[in-house]
Amino acid sequence: MKQPYSGPLERIDANCVRIPRGYKPGMRVPGVIFVNDTLLEQVKKDQAPDQVANVAYLPGIVGASIAMPDIHWGYGFCIGGVAATDPAEGGVICPGGIGYDINCGVRLVRTNLGYRDVKNRIRELVRELFHTVPAGVGRGGAYKFSGKEMKPLLAEGASYVIGRGLGVPADLANMEANGRIDGAEPDNVSDHAIKRGSEQCGTLGSGNHFLEVQVVDHVFDAEVGQAFGLEKDQVCVLIHSGSRGLGYQVCDDALATFRTTHTKYGIDLPDRQLACAPADSPEGKRYIGAMRAAANFGFCNRQLLTQQAREVFERVFGSSWQDLGMTLLYDVAHNIAKLEEHTVDGKKKRLWVHRKGATRAFPAGHPELPAAYKATGQPVIIPGDMGRASWVLVGAPGSMERTFGTTCHGAGRAMSRTAAVAAAGGRKIEKELEARGVIAMAQSRRGLAEEQPSAYKNVDDVVEVVHGADLSRKVARMRPIGVIKG
């Protein structure tokens, strides 16, 4: 099944290659992959570039089918894919371009603790986090919401849970879209989805999701670093999770509805997983309302995970989370589609920007940014693997010119899950991590093997490309010291 890509890749510049429109007969635009020579061989190892070409079939796609340097083989869309469609030109909304985990994303919580304050307490801290924050398969959370409570939660997003004391209003300003996507239609979310979600708000889940304690090990941009409140040796908490079973079910429901839309709207697609509908069609609108509601659930989930982490820090360090300076740097979504204004050939257009494993990276001055980041550009948070590093970047002007305001979202997998387990053999991954100064606890030993550092590309290589292409610029690099996983 895993075959290398043998199609064309034409170099545009040092950080970018093109799949010409002629590669496949149904391509409406070319493919563009942001990649340098260091990562190119890795990218060609599977069919991900072919998936970039397939996405170019989508009706109404504008400019190019784009992929980020953390590209890897997904289903339908590649992971790391970006596609903007123009609803005025019959542009589609494509659930596969968002993914099952709608509003999967990351947030970074600062602390005013330094490494010296935490290094002798890290075992205790990780153990407390592991026992407090629900993680893993089939784990319900500490918070349960009735069907009646779920409706306003889905409509209002993070402000709903903050209104119930689970956070402070200042948190909202530091979330993409203020933690609430307008236009959510909770009534479009099925009972199945509500049922799956009602016990899962405030749970980490499994797979690549995690909560990490990290230390800033280098600040690359002193001015922006200061504006972001980041300095060397500072301890931070990085949270990676999404909309849990609720989001998965919303996507699944939509794809079942979309089984016949290609016939109804005369859409020719090379892969059933790219099922889509015109964004302005009844089917498209219905999905968009449900998808926005699921995105709001994702913001609530990360907010409740944050609260639980704050409570653990309070217990371990004996101070209030406010005194520990546990404020939010930012919260970004990396599986989402949003209606945004972009300039195409000198004309302003409202486009549906699909980001499937890709992060918004608006530069300084963008009207959608909060006051705190208007002058710098938005913080972009890039989780790496659990042994090496994660990054904070800042949105740069090149993103508006080249990628519909988008940059990468992580390291990207280099090994399949089965290959990673085979490569781990009988090795004890947690012992290896400990030798590198990382205390890790996971519900599943197999999960730890699948997520071992060498299963991922080096996130530093990925960041080099987006920095070089001016999609987003380096601000700070963090190394993990404590990890909890499902």
Catalytic residues: 409
Site string for other proteins, 451-480 (x = CB under 8 A): ------------------------------
Which residue in 30, 69, 76, 379 binds other proteins (CB under 8 A)?
76
3-state secondary structure of 53: helix
Side-chain half-sphere exposure of 407, counting CA atoms within 13 A: 35
Cα 439–chain centre separation: 24
Q: In angstroms, rounded to a whole number, what is the distance separating the alpha carbons of residues 269 and 143?
A: 42
Q: In angstroms, rounded to a whole number, what is the distance separating the alpha carbons of residues 294 and 2?
A: 32
Which residue in 417, 436, 454, 470 binds other proteins (CB under 8 A)?
417
**Among residues 58 and 475, whose Cβ is nearest to other proteins?**
58
Which residue in 241, 249, 281, 335 binds other proteins (CB under 8 A)?
249
Q: Which of 412, 385, 302 is nearest to 45 (CA)?
A: 412
Residue bearing tokens 């659990």: 386
**Among residues 289 and 486, whose Cβ is nearest to other proteins?**
486
Site string for other proteins, 95-124 (x = CB under 8 A): ----xxx-----------------------
Does 428 sit near other proteins (CB under 8 A)? no
Does 259 sit near other proteins (CB under 8 A)? yes
Range in contact with other proteins (rule: CB under 8 A) among 62-70, 243-251, 313-321, 429-437: 243-251
Range in contact with other proteins (rule: CB under 8 A) among 159-167, 230-238, 269-277, 402-410: 269-277
Distance set, CA 142 to CA 17, 132, 305 (Å)? 47, 9, 10
CB of residue 152 to other proteins, shortest distance in Å: 22
Which residue in 16, 39, 79, 361 binds other proteins (CB under 8 A)?
79
CB of residue 260 to other proteins, shortest distance in Å: 11
CB-CB neighbours of 394 under 10 Å:
25
434-453 positions binding other proteins, by CB under 8 A: 443-444, 446-447
CB of residue 195 to other proteins, shortest distance in Å: 5
Does 145 sit near other proteins (CB under 8 A)? no
**Strand pairing class (439-442; 472-485):** parallel
Q: How many chain residues interact with other proteins (CB under 8 A)? A: 46
For the CA atoms of the chain, what is the radius of gyration?
Answer: 21
Site string for other proteins, 397-416 (x = CB under 8 A): ----------------x-xx
Q: In angstroms, rounded to a whole number, what is the distance separating the alpha carbons of residues 356 and 345?
A: 24
14-53 positions binding other proteins, by CB under 8 A: 46, 48
CB of residue 452 to other proteins, shortest distance in Å: 15
Q: For the purposes of burial, counting CB atoms within 10 Å of the CB of 22, is it exposed (0-12), middle (13-18) or buried (19 or more)?
A: exposed
CB of residue 380 to other proteins, shortest distance in Å: 21
Residue 298 near residue 104 (C-beta atoms within 8 A):
yes
Q: Which of 359, 162, 168, 141 is nearest to 245 (CA)?
A: 141
E strands within 186-281?
A: 210-219, 234-241, 277-278
Site string for other proteins, 187-206 (x = CB under 8 A): -----x--xx--------xx
CB of residue 113 to other proteins, shortest distance in Å: 32
Q: Which of 344, 478, 348, 480 is nearest to 403 (CA)?
A: 344
Does 252 sit near other proteins (CB under 8 A)? yes
Which residue in 33, 92, 251, 316 binds other proteins (CB under 8 A)?
251
Residue bearing tokens 């099925």: 190
Does 425 sit near other proteins (CB under 8 A)? no
Q: What share of the chain is helix, strand, coil (3-state, %, to 5)?
A: 35, 25, 35
Residue 331: φ, ψ to 5°? -130, 125
Q: In angstroms, rounded to a whole number, what is the distance separating the alpha carbons of residues 281 and 372?
A: 38
CB of residue 43 to other proteins, shortest distance in Å: 11
Name the residues that contact other proteins, by CB under 8 A: 1-2, 46, 48, 72-76, 79, 99-101, 136-138, 140, 192, 195-196, 205-207, 245, 248-249, 251-252, 255-256, 259, 271-273, 275, 413, 415-419, 443-444, 446-447, 486
